[in-house]
């Protein structure tokens, strides 16, 4: 039977296993047909996503921002979480930082993403709200995959 003490211990144990919200997990999409994205299209998609995100645009739980230029899609995903009611914040500075991390990890204009778990702790105690976000870019024409997974697009 769950008691307030058991629930608190379970939340504390789960939150201790979360990646800190300063750490990005990087993935390269090596299975994609196109590994050298069109540079002009990729830069244009990045610029268009920056225009959407600006210095901080809120994005509802389970939603995504994306920009397509030619055959390149650039995106920010706020994956659905039952553990928060907060909006995620998309910023052009985070997009630029994550693009640099993806380039360093995957290669110049190679498809990839950077994801992290954002932990919120509004009461100062045990983290009670967490959600996962991702920035990335990839070829849109060859695979036609749902680039934000479970996010509605």
Predicted pLDDT at 60: 87
What does pTM read for this prediction?
0.76
147 within a domain of the structure (yes/no):
no
CB atoms within 10 A of CB 59: 19
Predicted pLDDT at 136: 94
151 within a domain of the structure (yes/no):
no
36 within a domain of the structure (yes/no):
yes
Predicted pLDDT at 79: 84
18 within a domain of the structure (yes/no):
yes
Predicted pLDDT at 13: 47
**The domain containing residue 96 runs over which residues?**
4-139
Question: Which residue ranges in the chain fall short of pLDDT 70?
Answer: 1-22, 33, 80, 82-85, 120-129, 143-146, 150-153
40 within a domain of the structure (yes/no):
yes
Number of domains in the chain: 1
Contacts for 93 with CB less than 8 Å, ≥ 6 apart: 55
């Amino acid at each position: 039977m769950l008691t307030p003490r058991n629930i608190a211990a379970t939340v504390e144990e789960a939150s201790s296993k979360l990646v800190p919200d300063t750490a990005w997990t990087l993935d390269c999409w090596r299975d994609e047909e196109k590994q050298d994205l069109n540079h002009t299209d990729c830069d244009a998609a990045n610029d268009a996503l920056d225009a959407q995100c600006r210095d901080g645009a809120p994005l509802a739980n389970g939603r995504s921002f994306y920009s397509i230029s030619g055959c390149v899609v650039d995106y920010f995903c706020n994956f659905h979480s039952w553990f928060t009611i907060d909006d995620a914040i998309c910023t052009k500075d985070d997009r630029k930082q994550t693009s640099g991390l993806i380039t360093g990890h995957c290669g110049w204009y190679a498809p990839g993403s950077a994801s992290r778990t954002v932990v919120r702790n509004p009461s100062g105690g045990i983290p009670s709200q967490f959600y996962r976000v991702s920035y990335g870019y990839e070829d849109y024409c060859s695979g036609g995959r749902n680039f934000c997974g479970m996010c509605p697009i």
